[in-house]
Amino acid sequence: MTLHAFWLPNSFVMSFWLEDNQGPGPDLDPGGSEHPRGMLFTDLVGQLPTELELYQEQRFGLFPAADGLPIASHLDIPIDAQLQPWCIDTGETIAECVIDFFRTRPLPVDEGTTIGDSLLYWQQIAEFAVLLVDETLMVPGIAELEGKKYPVWQAAVPLELDPYWQSLVTAMPPVVHALMPDNEFAATPEALPLSFLDACVDFQVRQWAMQRNPKFHRPRKSQPPLPKQWLDALQAGHFSALFADSRRLETFVEEVGLWNDGVRPLSLFSPYRLGLELMPPDDHDGDWEIHPTVRSNRDRELSVPAGELFDPAASTHHPTALLPCLLAGLGRAAVDFPPLDACLESVPPEPCRIDRMQALVFMTEASLLLQKHGFIVHLPTWWEEPQEKLGLLLRISTPRNTGTDRNAVLGLDQMVSYSWEAAMGEESLTEAEFRELATSKTQLIHRNGRWRRVDTGAIRKSMKQLKDRGFSGDASLANAMEIGFGMEHAGGLPVLDLRFDCGEDASWLDDFRTDARFKMLPTPKTFRGTLRPYQEIGYSWLQFVADAGLGVCLADDMGLGKTVQMIAVLAHQQVNKLAEGPSLIVCPMSVVGNWARELERFAPSLRVLIHHGGDRSSQRMFVDSAGEYDAIITTYNLIVRDQTSFLSCRWWNIILDEAQNIKNPNTKQSVAVRSLRACNRYCLTGTPVENRLIELWSIMDFLNAGFLGWIGTFRTHFAMPIERDGSDRRAAILRKITRPFILRRLKSDRSIICDLPEKNEMKVFCNLTAEQAALYQTVVDQMFTCIGGEEGSSFERKGMILSALVKLKQITNHPVNFLHDDSEFSSARSGKLQRLEEMMQVVLDEGDKALIFTQFAQLGTRLHEKLARKFGVEVLYLHGGTPQRQREQLINKFQTRHGPPMFLLSLKAGGLGLNLTEANHVFHYDRWWNPAVEDQATDRAFRIGQTKAVQVHKYICVGTVEEKIDRMIDNKRQLADNIITPGETLITNLSLTELRDAFMLSRDAVSEQ
Amino acid sequence: MISHWPTHQEIDINVPISVEHGLQLRSQRGEIVKNWWGRGLLAAMDSTAVKEELDAGKRYARKGQIEWMECSESTVKASVQGRDDKPYTVTIAFKALPGAAWTAVLTELSQRLDLCGAILGGSMPEDVQALFERHDAAVLPADPPHSTCDCERTERPCRHMLAVACLVADRVDTRPLLLFELRGLPQEQFMTRLRELWNLPLPDVDDADVPQPSERSVTGYYRRPDVEPETQPTAPPKVDVLAKLGIPQFFNQDDQTSLQTLRKLYHDHIRR
């Protein structure tokens, strides 16, 4: 037995029929009208699932026959067989049941029944429908069933799926048409499978609509407008026909068809379509041409120009159907776009010539209509591409700098001239060009060999508004910017940019490196060290901008050497006798020691005073002696506490290190810092200031008071639009106006990478807290008591010194590390910890990853808790007790791209097969005093496979034995780089005097006030 | 969901026996045809009709009383179901234009691509009529065609002839080439003869070379054709159907609710 299935598109019914092909063929009676092999409805029902709810029908169908008898479907059918009608007993079901049936694989048909190709065919289509609906590829339309118009969901088949759909259409077994020999569906092969596809789509959408809104009934009483009827019916779980008078109904059906045609399967009725290609002229006033072609629906590459079809030789390569398609297509297309009539005025047809105005109509309106009517329209690529933005520029220019008042070069109260200009993308237009655009009759403009579309309406509006308000004028910079912002959409055009055109005196505002006056300075004679190329640029820039009387901010990434660049400036000013007073360096407590050491190391000729600590000079002494120094280092806290001292001086330079300390403009220290008088102002910061708007304002206001206006104005003009509304334009303008004042290089910048060594070692000098200093002194005192006056290198003496060394190391780390108690592990108790936290914040801000080494497991545990809690990130911790398998897990975790950013290791890393190349920072929280061991640890990060430059930060407490040993090692290294003696050995061999010198706590060790 | 409605057999003796899937007019009210040539042809056929018969003929044609209709060589043959059990056979024979007239008309038409395009596209500018007249011919028949019907009514033309006349006019109204056929130029000859006039030889490729859905072949009647199926894309393209189609023009300009409803239908479906 073989099962066949037929889809009846006029009634949305699937009809099943069971054929008995095992039967004794020859005995059949050829005379009857009943199909001799047809089985009865009762036989059929048993073969199929009951869910189908089959009901009985009788249908006429056409079947291949020989000698008056049907040929069984599994046999070969001779070519001379004729189709003969027979009546068959069918089991039929309405669509909704049948889709579930076909979605089941394999088909739930009784065993022993052969599944005919017709069933497999419908199954393929049902599955395609499921795919479409899953991707929301359906569209509302109208189906005609039994003379009525029903709103239905139909299949949307995008171009990409069209080949598959076409192959489905071609794969249709003829038997599916058996029941409708005279039906008009037979005329278009696609129509039958499409009808079933649509039915499957409609059913699925409706089934879902039913579940979602089971009680939905379209209103019955009134007869709402057709669109409403249509939408209501689409949401219902069942079909309901549209009601309206027939003409209105016809029109509506047509309109819906035109609308949804854009996503319906192609080539329903014809394999060819007319193509229309618009070609712009090469100059402004030339003719535009529309070239007609014939294109294939099945082969998208095929496009035959009209002329070729009329060429006797070339035309023979194309099927005859192309010619009527071209002519009829042009005839119908001309209804949508009448100028196309011209194509058919001659034999052969000519491209149609139109003017600019008509071309615009073609591109904007006609093309849409034509596409809806099934024509393929090709517009120039630039039409579809995003257009260069047309808008206005506010050009701001300052009068020539007279050179008398250096601070007046730029400030919001500065009088400037402003003028409006129109611009297209990057290119500004002359006023004449702008006026021409405004009077242009069409929106199509040919400029510099290219066509563009411009909104002439908006141009005219802007023109009018500018005429009213004036194209140019004079105002304070603040007011000029106000004008720019106040006309966010100047009439019709957006304000694209503010441009500063401050004459040659300030051309550096755009890019200082191109400014004629910018010169690279030589490294100052007194500077001990070598500046890297980008540091030379930075130092020269700091000096150059200061010469222009402006305050600037150096915001290089951590590790690029901001301090060194600043010291070079100080050295330069000293050598060239530019400084007319001392410089004030304001920094957080944790880096006071660092500044002192770096100044000492790179510019020993500078006379430096560290103004902090309990024994700092009194106000009177300070004022008297300040002039004797080149640089005075102090902290933010003291700026507030000793404000009167600092106010009494006029500073040559004020340098704010870690300038994010004044991020809140209302704090006492910010106010105090802003009140200081200075000739040059500098800020150093490693955080990306441009993204923290209030911080940016505060820093800018310190550097160039009033430049960004009053804080309230700044909030309304920048902070709120950028942060709350995400205004990219405001952000761009802010970037633009602040850019000249901020130099920020990233360590990932290509030019910087070239300048950086692959491994960049830096010493981080920290201070002790008073608690640490007291503990330190106790341990040192105890040690000297124990060794008494003993000299030499006895084993006992060595032991005592080494034991003291370990204790001192622990103390410099953190008191907790030495006391081994549960007291608070706070950064207030340790200079190193304070510095580590600050630097970790930068690491996180910069999106980097760090390894932190310490040799004390107990400290490691506390650090681990502390860092994880403080930064709220996962901190990995590997120590001697970590089992091997877990070590691997930790390493793998760290090595994944978005793995945890901090990895704490408390062990002798040497000899371990660790590969931690994801890290680009290595922190040595305490020192091994053995360069070989430290290098081994560093090499975990610095290995083959490392793509980033690695920064190595070695923590050292100033004025302690740590610093002394560090110096000793450095000196030894310089003497004989290859023979490295561990620091411990060096120390234990010292004489008593040398020992006292090494262990003695120097005055600058402590940083507490 | 559609269910099968029982066919109600009309009991009234004065109405014709109804026909399932009969041929119907597209227009169910008002004028039958819209175009001048459709009107002209209808006028030629119904000018001598009695109003009552004409109304009945229209009613028949609208109801779908015509079981089938064939056109060949200027003659229309159709079967119309009336009140009698057996349907009537109607023929309408039009007067063909002489071959020479067609040659002259086609020769001029071959230089008027605009008219060719219009005719192929289903419309006929009035210029065509003028063109025929220049060659002493008329596109529309001047006299009523010779019609027959085997019914027993006395009125001529009878309602059955008029029903067919309406249907012919309806079909001709959108297919001017059918009018040409009734005037003696078989439809397929229109393009063939124009090609000759344009000196275009018959192409060496057949239309059949273009991939076509399978013909209804007898030998492979029960089989899916042996064609290489396109593989179904595993990742179908993401297409925002509504965005692609835009706002339906048939929504009232200020009808925001309809648009929102439509958007919501899609939106809800995506969130399903």
- A602: burial class by Cβ within 10 Å (0-12, 13-18, 19+)? buried
Between residues A476 and A684, which one has the greater pLDDT?
Answer: A684
Note whether B8 contacts A: Cβ–Cβ < 8 A.
no
Strand stretches in A258-358, DSSP E? 272-279, 288-296, 303-305, 352-354
Distance (Å, rounded) from C-alpha A955 to C-alpha A828? Answer: 17
pLDDT at A218 over 60: no
pLDDT at A25: 55
Distance (Å, rounded) from C-alpha A406 to C-alpha A387? Answer: 43
Note whether B272 contacts A: Cβ–Cβ < 8 A.
yes
Between residues A513 and A934, which one has the greater pLDDT?
Answer: A934
In chain A, residues with a C-beta closer than 8 Å to the C-beta of B30 are 247
Quick check: A189 and B213 CB within 8 A?
Answer: yes
> Would you say residue A634 lies in a domain?
yes
Quick check: A137 and B241 CB within 8 A?
Answer: yes
What share of chain A has pLDDT > 70, as a percent? 85
pLDDT at A381: 81
Q: Which residue of B has its CA nearest to A178?
A: B221
In chain A, residues with a C-beta closer than 8 Å to the C-beta of B3 are 94
Q: Which residue of A has its CA nearest to B20?
A: A146
Tens of pLDDT, residues A13-28: 899 999 987 765 555 6
pLDDT at A411: 54
Task: Tell me which residue of A958, A971, A962, A955 sits closest to A998, measured CA to CA.
Answer: A962
Quick check: A170 and B204 CB within 8 A?
Answer: no
User: Which of A16-25, A163-172, A355-364 has the largest mean confidence?
Assistant: A355-364
pLDDT at A1008: 59
Contact by Cβ (8 Å): A921, A951: yes
Quick check: B244 and A262 CB within 8 A?
Answer: yes
Same domain flag for A568 and A589: yes
Quick check: B27 and A160 CB within 8 A?
Answer: no
Same domain flag for A322 and A285: yes
Same domain flag for A363 and A222: no
B interface test, pick of A231, A255, A260 with most B CB neighbours within 10 Å: A231
Q: Pick from A754, A789, A814: which residue ends a domain?
A: A754
Same domain flag for A597 and A710: yes
Tens of pLDDT, residues A381-426: 888 776 667 777 777 776 654 443 444 445 555 677 788 877 777 7
End-to-end CA distance of chain B: 23
Distance (Å, rounded) from C-alpha A152 to C-alpha A142? Answer: 5
* DSSP state letter for A1006: B
Question: Which one of B28, B204, B218 has the shortest CB-CB distance to A77?
Answer: B218
Same domain flag for A231 and A350: no
* Average pLDDT value for residue range B30-45: 91
In chain A, residues with a C-beta closer than 8 Å to the C-beta of B215 are 174
Neighbours of A284 (CB within 10 A): 12
In chain A, residues with a C-beta closer than 8 Å to the C-beta of B241 are 136-139, 156, 263
Q: Pick from A697, A731, A754: which residue ends a domain?
A: A754
The identity of residue A288, as a single letter, is W
Tens of pLDDT, residues B198-246: 999 887 765 544 444 444 467 788 888 766 666 766 667 777 888 777 7
Same domain flag for A19 and A128: yes
pLDDT at A371: 75
Quick check: B200 and A310 CB within 8 A?
Answer: yes
* Average pLDDT value for residue range A544-548: 79
Note whether A314 contacts B: Cβ–Cβ < 8 A.
no
Backbone angles phi, psi at A328, to 5 degrees: -65, -40
> What CATH number is associated with residue A892?
3.40.50.300
Contact by Cβ (8 Å): A702, A662: yes
In chain A, residues with a C-beta closer than 8 Å to the C-beta of B211 are 166, 170, 298
Q: Which residue of B has its CA nearest to A327?
A: B117
Strand stretches in A22-54, DSSP E? none
Res. A973 pLDDT band, cuts 50 70 90: low
Note whether B248 contacts A: Cβ–Cβ < 8 A.
yes
Least confidently predicted of A122-126, A718-722, A815-819? A718-722
pLDDT at A912: 55
pLDDT at A399: 61
Q: How many domains does chain A have?
A: 5
In chain B, residues with a C-beta closer than 8 Å to the C-beta of A345 are 113-114
In chain A, residues with a C-beta closer than 8 Å to the C-beta of B110 are 347
Question: Which one of A163, A263, A327 has the shortest CB-CB distance to B113?
Answer: A327
Same domain flag for A682 and A766: no
Least confidently predicted of A507-521, A805-819, A834-848? A507-521
HSE toward the beta carbon, residue B199, CA cutoff 13 A:
6
Note whether A177 contacts B: Cβ–Cβ < 8 A.
yes
pLDDT at A214: 64
Mean pLDDT in chain A? 81
Mean pLDDT in chain B? 82
Q: How far is B219 from chain A (nearest CA, A)?
A: 5
Neighbours of A20 (CB within 10 A): 17
What is the sign of the dihedral through the CA atoms of A118, A124, A128 and A131? positive
> Would you say residue A33 lies in a domain?
yes
Q: What are the residue ranges of helices labelled H in A338-409? A: 356-361, 367-372, 381-384
Q: Which residue of A has its CA nearest to B30?
A: A247
Quick check: B117 and A161 CB within 8 A?
Answer: no
Q: Pick from A263, A295, A329: which residue ends a domain?
A: A263
pLDDT at A184: 43
Quick check: B230 and A164 CB within 8 A?
Answer: yes
pLDDT at A108: 83
In chain A, residues with a C-beta closer than 8 Å to the C-beta of B230 are 163-164, 166-167
Note whether B236 contacts A: Cβ–Cβ < 8 A.
yes
* DSSP state letter for A488: T
> Would you say residue A422 lies in a domain?
yes
pLDDT at A125 over 80: yes
Torsion from C-alpha of A593, A594, A596, A601, nearest 10 degrees: 140
Same domain flag for A537 and A664: yes
The DSSP element (H or E) to which B175 belongs, if any, is none
Q: How far is B161 from chain A (nearest CA, A)?
A: 23
> Would you say residue A507 lies in a domain?
no
pLDDT at A887 over 90: no
What share of chain B has pLDDT > 70, as a percent? 83
Backbone angles phi, psi at A92, to 5 degrees: -120, 155
Question: Which one of B111, B204, B221 has the shortest CB-CB distance to A316?
Answer: B204
> Would you say residue A982 lies in a domain?
yes
Quick check: B236 and A170 CB within 8 A?
Answer: no
Same domain flag for A65 and A96: yes
Tens of pLDDT, residues A554-586: 988 888 889 999 999 999 999 998 888 899 999
Neighbours of A447 (CB within 10 A): 15
Note whether A552 contacts B: Cβ–Cβ < 8 A.
no
pLDDT at A717 over 80: no
Distance (Å, rounded) from C-alpha A209 to C-alpha A216? Answer: 9
The DSSP element (H or E) to which A653 belongs, if any, is strand A651-656
* Average pLDDT value for residue range A915-922: 83
> What CATH number is associated with residue A532?
3.40.50.10810
Same domain flag for A549 and A665: yes
How many CB pairs below 8 Å do chains A and B form together?
Answer: 253
Tens of pLDDT, residues A287-344: 999 999 998 765 656 788 998 999 988 888 888 888 888 998 898 888 889 999 888 8
In chain A, residues with a C-beta closer than 8 Å to the C-beta of B205 are 316-319
Quick check: B121 and A174 CB within 8 A?
Answer: no
pLDDT at A837: 93
> Would you say residue A717 lies in a domain?
yes
Between residues B260 and B124, which one has the greater pLDDT?
Answer: B124
Note whether A298 contacts B: Cβ–Cβ < 8 A.
yes
Q: Which of residues 27-86 of B touch A (CB under 8 A)?
A: 27-30
Question: Which one of B200, B221, B236 has the shortest CB-CB distance to A315?
Answer: B200
> Would you say residue A842 lies in a domain?
yes
CA distances from A213 to A136, A235, A237 (A): 19, 8, 9
pLDDT at B11: 42
Q: How far is A279 from chain B (nearest CA, A)?
A: 22
pLDDT at B234: 67
Distance (Å, rounded) from C-alpha A939 to C-alpha A942? Answer: 4
Distance (Å, rounded) from C-alpha A37 to C-alpha A23? Answer: 7
In chain B, residues with a C-beta closer than 8 Å to the C-beta of A4 are 222
In chain B, residues with a C-beta closer than 8 Å to the C-beta of A262 are 244-245
* Average pLDDT value for residue range A431-459: 76
* Average pLDDT value for residue range B67-73: 83
In chain B, residues with a C-beta closer than 8 Å to the C-beta of A64 are 218, 221
Note whether B174 contacts A: Cβ–Cβ < 8 A.
no
pLDDT at B173 over 50: yes
Same domain flag for A721 and A597: yes
pLDDT at A10: 77
pLDDT at A628 over 60: yes
Question: Which one of B113, B120, B224 has the shortest CB-CB distance to A173?
Answer: B224
Same domain flag for A593 and A713: yes
Question: Which one of A160, A312, A324 has the shortest CB-CB distance to B191?
Answer: A324
Question: Which one of A169, A320, A346 has the shortest CB-CB distance to B207?
Answer: A320
The DSSP element (H or E) to which A142 belongs, if any, is strand A138-145
Q: Which of residues 199-218 of B touch A (CB under 8 A)?
A: 199-207, 209-218
Local structure of A524: helix, strand or coil: coil
A interface test, pick of B23, B175, B216 with most A CB neighbours within 10 Å: B216
Residue A118 lies in domain: 2-263
pLDDT at A267 over 60: no
Quick check: A96 and B218 CB within 8 A?
Answer: no
Quick check: B2 and A145 CB within 8 A?
Answer: yes
